[in-house]
């Protein structure tokens, strides 16, 4: 398991390697960057769940008034 700092550090190294160095290293760095990219489906699912919680809380507050 990687910590947040590890991912940031790895992304920084990979970005540097993707822009310079031998072609084989650049390809490997691009593949690593692709793996380190945030998962859009997971982020959208979490955002949807949070929005649902906020709406449910808002409805519950309005019903008590």
Residues of the chain below pLDDT 50: none
Residue pair 32/14 in contact (Cβ under 8 Å)? The answer is yes
pTM, two decimals, is 0.54
| Per-residue model confidence (pLDDT) at position 4 | 63
Cα 27 vs. chain centroid, distance in angstroms? 21
Rounded Cα distance, 6 and 13, in Å: 11
Q: Where are the domains of the chain?
A: 4-64
The residues near 19 (Cβ < 8 Å, ≥ 6 apart) are: 26
Rounded Cα distance, 12 and 39, in Å: 18
């Amino acid at each position: 398991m990687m910590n947040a700092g590890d991912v940031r550090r790895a992304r920084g190294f990979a970005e540097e390697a993707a822009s310079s160095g031998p072609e084989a290293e650049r390809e490997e760095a691009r593949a690593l960057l692709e793996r380190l990219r945030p998962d859009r489906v997971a982020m959208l699912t979490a955002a949807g769940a949070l929005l649902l919680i906020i709406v449910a809380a808002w409805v519950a507050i309005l019903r008590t008034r």
